[in-house]
Each structure stands twice: as structure tokens, then as C-alpha cells.
Amino acid sequence: MQLLRGTKDILPDEIQFWQHIYDLANDTFLLSNYNEIRTPILEQTNLFKRSIGNDTDIVNKEMYNFLDQSNRCITLRPEGTASIARAFISNKLYTTNNIHRLWYMGPMFRYERPQKGRQRQFHQLGIECIGSLSYIADVEVIRLAIKILETCQLSRYKLEINSIGSSEERQIYKYELIDYLIKYKKDLDEDSKKRLEINPLRILDSKNIKTQEILDEAPKLISYIQSESLNHFNKICEHLTYLSIPYKINEKLVRGLDYYNYTAFEIKTDILGNQDTICGGGRYDTLIEYLGGPKTPAVGWAIGIERLLMITTKIININKNISKVYIIIQGLKAEQKVWDIIKILEEYKISFNLDLNQSNLKKQMRKASQSSAKICCILGENEINYNYITIKWLKTSKQQKISLDTLKQYLYDIKNLIIT
Ligand code: ATP
Ligand code: MG
């Protein structure tokens, strides 16, 4: 059987890195009062159509949609924010507090062309700060993204930030942009020609050089943004400067999702090659109301964990889990008695590896020596008959006979020697 294209197994060797990211996220976010939330992977297709927007790449081309047994339209979530907005409304979280700080980590699904740093099932770590219009919330959220990256020892990153204004401001700009670009339609790249009708703002981040030349003379979004949006943006920039977080204003950064307003940002790194964006986020003040909740402003981001790990697994040094005790059993009686020994090892939290090969003693002893355990416990017929266990110290080959009646005390006494 083949693995589905664009999906990956995460093997035991890699899991420790995932666990590391989870633990460090949990520690970092709890300090700032962000609490974990887990929403279902399945949602109604409409949730994403409405929130991300019908004319976006995600909804148009990338969603995993299917009909369930009752002909409901279901989608494997392509991102986290829409689900969290939905959960905020479904669970009436707005009745308890006026600010909700949430974080999540989990799989997302997008039908894209798989390549380095781009999978069909991938994972995101993200946060949402729900309930505040203040630019301080934007700064808090951006600062936490930087903090996570720095804790992962990523130093070569670039924060790009822009204000995309309110949807009214963008609407006016959109028509001005179309008016301008329509004159050059034949010179635009194919993608941009299509976007001219459906999502003209996305043309701004076209990678085509000719399109970019045309855009040089195009009206600028920033000129259509009024003082309120502008003030919000300038304040964030002031705070970033104060925090010594380097940033670049990218006037062409609009991001692919409909629900953003005011702040849009991305964090890139030159280490990753083509898939260089590691984090994307922004403010979404109308989404929750639009989905049927009360008017609630919010801001958040998501980091791609696979991309983060491509950088950090080289740096993070994690100890491998090596069993400290190797257990050999021979004979039917030993097979039962071994459970008593295992209970003691568990009580003292000493990790062990029970030999399941049922091969002869010599072979099992060889396995024990290869295993990097500290000691080997041998429970054979002789041991059972005379009520003892043989302990072999694998480094020195020293052997001891320990009565089963005193084994518990013995293991307690040597515990620290074998755990370290
Ligand atoms: P890209 O431009 O690379 O397609 P995006 O703008 O679609 O990214 P977002 O929706 O902002 O991405 O998601 C936030 C982050 O999730 C990205 O910066 C990236 O690190 C990660 N990500 C998005 N899509 C994928 C994917 N298909 N495979 C792996 N990681 C992904
Ligand atoms: Mg994408």
C-alpha cells in the first residue's frame, strides 16, 4: 500500500521534535494567558467558503471536500482560524470573558502540488487573540510568533507587515486597481488575468516580473487607507521598533484570505528555499460577526510546523529514549513471574525492554549487550527454582544474584545509578 501523495508518516524518531514544539508552545503561551483549544478536523464546507472567501485559492482549488453518508458537504479543515471562530460562537465563549486568548496545534489539509515544505496534510501551530481592537493585541500576537521562532533558535527571519485597511477602503482601492490594470491586461501573466476578475488584490503578490513592472506605476493601497487604519498600523510599527523586532513594510502584502483587515503580516526565512514563508497572520475584526456571532475583533497567526522543523531539527538536541533495563525470561514460570518485576520497575519509573524473541539465553544476552541498557535482568528456570534473579551489569559484565524477596529494595538502591 502506498502513502497518499502529499502526506507523511511521522516516525518515532521525529516525534520527539513534535513533542518539543508542543511543550515549548504550551509553556510560552501559558505565560501570556493563551490556552489550548482543539476543534474537529471536519467542518461544514460552508464554514470555509464563507470565511476564507469563495474567490481565494484555498476555497477554489485546495479544499478536501466530500459528501458524507447523509449527503452533507464536509471539508477537512484547510486552516485553523475559521474553525476557532465557529467554536467561539457555537460554545458562546463570548458570554464568559471579553478577551479570549487561544492557541492550537494540529493537522490541516490542502490539495496542493506537494514539494519541499508543501504537503497536502501539514500541521500548523497558531494563536488567536479574540476580543480586542487595540493595536497592543496585534503587537502581543506578533511578538509571540517571534518568541516561538527565537526559542526554536531561528535567527534568520524577516517580518513583513502591511495594513490592508478596512474592507470599505479595500473595496474603493480594488476598483481603482482594476481600472489601472485593465489597460495592461494582455501583458499580465495568466494567473493575474484570471485574478483581475475574481480577486484583483492578489495580483499584488504575483511573482511574475512583467506583472510586477506594471504594478510599479499602479495606485497604492496605502493611499486609500484612512487615518484610523493608518494610526493602528503606525502604532504597531512603533511598538515593534521599541521591541527591537526588525520588520519591513511590504505594501504589496495582502495575504490570500478574505477575512483580514488592518494588519497583515508574514514571517519569512531565507533558509527554506522556495517555500520560505513560515508564519502568516493578521487581524480579522468582522469574521465572527459575519459567521453569526456578536461583533468581536480578533487577531492571530499560524506557523507551518513542517517548515519550522526543517530548520530546527538540525538545532534541537533531544535525548533518545533508551530503555535502562533489558529483561530476559526463560521458561513458563518465568513468563509469569516477570510481571511482578515489571510492576516494580514501573513504580520506580525505570524504563525497560522485555525480550520477546523467545530465543535461547545466549542470543538474548547478545541482544542485551547491543541494547545500551545499563543492566540485564535474567529470569530463567534456575532463578525461579531458587527464588532469585540474576542481574548483569552490562558495562562491566559483573553479575549478582538477588533474592526475589529483596529485589524491590535492591532496585530502589540502584535506581539512580541506572537512570542517569
Ligand atoms: P504559501 O504561500 O506557502 O502557500 P499560505 O499563505 O497559503 O502559504 P497560510 O495559509 O498563511 O499559508 O498558512 C500559514 C503557514 O502554514 C504558512 O506560512 C506555511 O508555513 C504553512 N503552510 C501553508 N500551506 C502549507 C502546505 N501545503 N504545506 C506545509 N505548510 C504549509
Ligand atoms: Mg498556500
pLDDT in tens, the chain (420 residues): 999 999 999 999 889 899 999 999 999 999 999 999 999 999 999 999 999 988 888 998 999 999 999 999 999 999 999 999 999 999 999 999 899 999 999 999 999 999 999 999 999 999 999 999 999 999 999 999 999 999 988 888 999 999 999 989 999 999 999 999 999 999 999 989 988 988 899 899 888 999 999 999 999 998 999 999 999 999 999 999 999 999 999 998 988 777 899 999 999 998 878 888 999 999 999 999 999 999 999 999 999 999 999 988 766 777 777 899 999 999 999 999 999 999 999 999 999 999 998 889 999 999 999 998 999 999 999 999 999 999 999 999 999 999 999 999 999 999 999 987
User: Whats the size of the chain, residue-wise?
Assistant: 420
Model pLDDT, residue 256: 72
Share of the chain above pLDDT 90, in %: 85
For ligand 1, residues with CB inside 6 Å are 79, 110, 112, 117-119, 122, 124, 256, 275, 277-280, 302, 304, 306-307
pTM for the model stands at 0.91
Q: Which atom, in ligand 1's list, is nearest to the CA of 114?
A: 27
pLDDT at 285 (0 to 100): 96
- pLDDT of res. 101: 98
pLDDT digits (tens, 9 = 90+) for 295-309: 999 999 999 999 999
Return the number of other C-beta atoms located less than 10 Å from residue 262's C-beta: 26
Q: Candidates 191, 283, 307, 310: which one to mutate for ligand 1, based on the most atoms within 8 Å of Cβ?
A: 307
What are the structural domains of the chain? Answer: 12-166+226-315 (3.30.930.10), 325-419 (3.40.50.800)
Question: DSSP for 223-266?
Answer: GG--HHHHHHHHHHHHHHHHTT--EEE-TT---S-TT-EEEEEE
Question: What grid cell was written down for 33?
Answer: 494567558
Q: What is the pLDDT of residue 154?
A: 86
Which ligand 1 atom sits closest to the C-alpha of 110?
Answer: 27
Alpha-carbon distances of 219 from 14, 155, 224, 244, 327, rounded to whole Å: 48, 35, 9, 31, 74
Closest CA to ligand 1's atom 22: 304
Signed CA dihedral, 397, 401, 405, 409: sign only: negative
Q: In what order do the strands lie in the sheet with 352-354?
A: 352-354, 325-329, 375-379, 388-393, 399-403
86 annotated among ligand-binding-site residues: no
292 is in an annotated binding site: no
